């Protein structure tokens, strides 16, 4: 697999999958890594931070974890014109991001049926890499999803009226009277095209992960919202019943109603006390200046930018980087970024 890390707009980075698709991703926060795989309808790693409900969700998640987000093929800032939108290639998107960052073991979250199938498949294929699995508003199969009357109506609406379909997705997620429902519909239309959604639904229509769920080895938390009409809590319970020792947490309201409750449940499951600040990170291998240089390097700064920020010469920065690589046994920037994420040493651009 060929992967290249480079900084585009803001904190956006790119890697390339085994089948040649460019995937956009971001790294935010500090602490152990949490890879959050979002709904294909609502994934745009740059614009998502301008939507209040998503910003609140991701900011809360990143308060105690290094949050890694990416746009799946066909959506957001990743390559849009893609032929194969089935499950297996979507798993390759996740593999490319995890490999490009050199992640060893990490927590993994899917927040809708499709992303849920992706993370479950990845967890079964790579059990040694998934420390925790979190499935939010997910289900066992595509037929389960389409059997729900509101989901069936939504799918029919997709075939007739794209704009009305997107507006209804927001209403079903947040409630018909919620002010963010219309805004969410507009956001979806910036994330993905009508044809991509139609082709994705067609490619995923027969997915059923029931046969592999008993093979999940990672500790698993299943979250279900009581007011998400396309995903009844009963489906979350059916899903959990097929995963060994899976826990279920029911969150009252719609997807955006009790964000703090959902994120607190995630942090609690990951073994973190959400009421206390994140852990202070000290790294005895590195000097204070080396740790600072590494944090900037992992945050996407170039050598020249680090030199300007620290008011030192470029040669001094290069010497620090050489010392860092030697001390942490890094072969290059990818290894260094992986080390920084693992040890909570990532300083985002603009921070």
Residue 333 lies in a domain: yes
What pLDDT does residue 119 have? 98
283, 343 in Cβ contact below 8 A?
A: yes
Residue 4 lies in a domain: no
Residue 326: CATH number of its domain? 1.10.10.10
Bridge-based pairing state of the strands 247-251 and 220-225: parallel
Q: Report the alpha-carbon distance of residue 59 to residue 309 in Å, rounded.
A: 25
Do 305 and 259 share a structural domain? Answer: no
Mean local confidence (pLDDT), 276-284:
39
Q: Considering Cα of 255, then 210, then 20, then 25, what sign does the dihedral take?
A: positive
Over pLDDT 70: what percentage of the chain?
90
Range of the domain at 230: 13-269
Do 124 and 18 share a structural domain? Answer: yes
Residue 351 lies in a domain: no
Residue 7 lies in a domain: no
Do 177 and 116 share a structural domain? Answer: yes
Residue 70 lies in a domain: yes
Does residue 348 register a pLDDT over 80? Answer: no
Do 187 and 160 share a structural domain? Answer: yes
What pLDDT does residue 228 have? 86
Q: Report the alpha-carbon distance of residue 186 to residue 182 in Å, rounded.
A: 6
Cα separations in angstroms, 127 against 12, 112, 119, 120: 28, 21, 11, 10
Q: Considering Cα of 124, then 111, then 23, then 108, what sign does the dihedral take?
A: negative
Do 134 and 41 share a structural domain? Answer: yes
Lay out the sheet containing 247-251: strands in order across.
Answer: 13-16, 22-28, 66-70, 33-37, 106-110, 130-136, 220-225, 247-251
What pLDDT does residue 258 have? 82
For 62-119, write each residue's pLDDT tens digit: 988 999 999 999 999 999 999 999 999 999 999 999 999 999 999 999 999 999 999 9
Residue 279 lies in a domain: no
Do 328 and 206 share a structural domain? Answer: no
Does residue 41 register a pLDDT over 90? Answer: no
Do 308 and 175 share a structural domain? Answer: no
DSSP result, 191-228: H--HHHHHHHHHHHTT-B-TTTGGG--S-EEEEEETT-
Do 315 and 233 share a structural domain? Answer: no
What pLDDT does residue 326 have? 82
Does residue 203 register a pLDDT over 90? Answer: yes
What's the Rg (C-alpha) of the chain? 20
Do 331 and 252 share a structural domain? Answer: no
What pLDDT does residue 274 have? 45
Residue 204: CATH number of its domain? 3.40.50.1820
Choose the final residue of a domain: 221, 238, 269.
269
Give the chain's domain count: 2
Do 137 and 250 share a structural domain? Answer: yes
For 282-310, write each residue's pLDDT tens digit: 334 677 678 888 888 888 889 899 888 88
Do 324 and 189 share a structural domain? Answer: no
Q: Which of 5-29 are b and which e, b meaning 16 or more Cβ less than 10 Å from the residue's Cβ?
A: eeeeeebbbbbbbeeebbbbbbbbb
For 14-26, write each residue's pLDDT tens digit: 999 999 999 999 9
Is residue 260 left, alpha or beta, with left meaning phi > 0 and alpha meaning psi from -120 to 50?
alpha
- In the DSSP assignment, the letter for residue 232 is -
Do 227 and 190 share a structural domain? Answer: yes
Choose the final residue of a domain: 269, 301, 333.
269
Does residue 7 register a pLDDT over 70? Answer: no
Residue 62 lies in a domain: yes
Q: Is 277 helix (H, G, I), strand (E, B) or coil?
A: coil
Name the more confident of 132 and 175. 132
Choose the final residue of a domain: 269, 299, 322.
269
Residue 276 lies in a domain: no
């Amino acid at each position: 697999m060929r992967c290249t890390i480079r900084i585009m707009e803001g904190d956006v980075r790119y890697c390339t999958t085994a089948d040649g698709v460019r995937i956009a991703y971001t790294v935010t926060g500090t602490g152990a890594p949490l890879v959050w795989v979002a709904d294909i309808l609502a994934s745009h790693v740059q614009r998502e931070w301008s939507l209040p409900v998503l910003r609140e969700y991701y900011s809360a998640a990143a308060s105690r974890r290094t949050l890694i987000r990416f746009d799946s093929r066909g959506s957001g800032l990743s390559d849009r014109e893609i032929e194969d939108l089935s499950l297996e290639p979507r798993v390759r998107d996740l593999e490319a991001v995890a490999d490009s960052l050199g992640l060893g073991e990490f927590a993994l979250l899917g927040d809708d049926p499709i992303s849920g199938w992706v993370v479950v498949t990845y967890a079964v294929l790579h059990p040694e890499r998934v420390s925790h699995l979190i499935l939010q508003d997910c289900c066992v199969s595509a037929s389960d999803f389409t059997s729900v009357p509101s989901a069936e109506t939504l799918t029919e609406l997709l075939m007739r009226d794209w704009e009305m379909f997107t507006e209804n997705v927001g209403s079903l997620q947040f409630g018909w009277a919620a002010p963010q429902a219309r805004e969410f519909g507009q956001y979806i239309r910036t994330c993905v095209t009508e044809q991509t959604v139609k082709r994705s639904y067609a490619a995923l229509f027969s997915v059923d992960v029931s046969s592999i769920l008993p093979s999940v080895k990672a500790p698993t938390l299943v979250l279900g919202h009581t007011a998400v009409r396309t995903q009844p809590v009963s489906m979350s319970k059916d899903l959990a019943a097929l995963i060994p020792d899976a826990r279920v947490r029911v969150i009252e309201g719609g997807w955006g109603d009790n964000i703090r409750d959902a994120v607190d449940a995630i942090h609690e499951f990951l073994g973190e006390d959400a009421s206390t600040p994140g852990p202070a990170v000290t790294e005895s291998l590195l000097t204070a200046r080396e740790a600072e240089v590494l944090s900037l390097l992992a945050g996407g700064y170039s050598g020249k930018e680090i030199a300007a920020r620290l008011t030192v010469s470029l040669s001094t920065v290069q010497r620090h980087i050489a010392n860092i690589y030697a001390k942490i046994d890094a072969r290059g920037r990818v290894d260094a970024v992986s080390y920084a994420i693992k040890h909570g040493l990532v300083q985002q651009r603009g921070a």
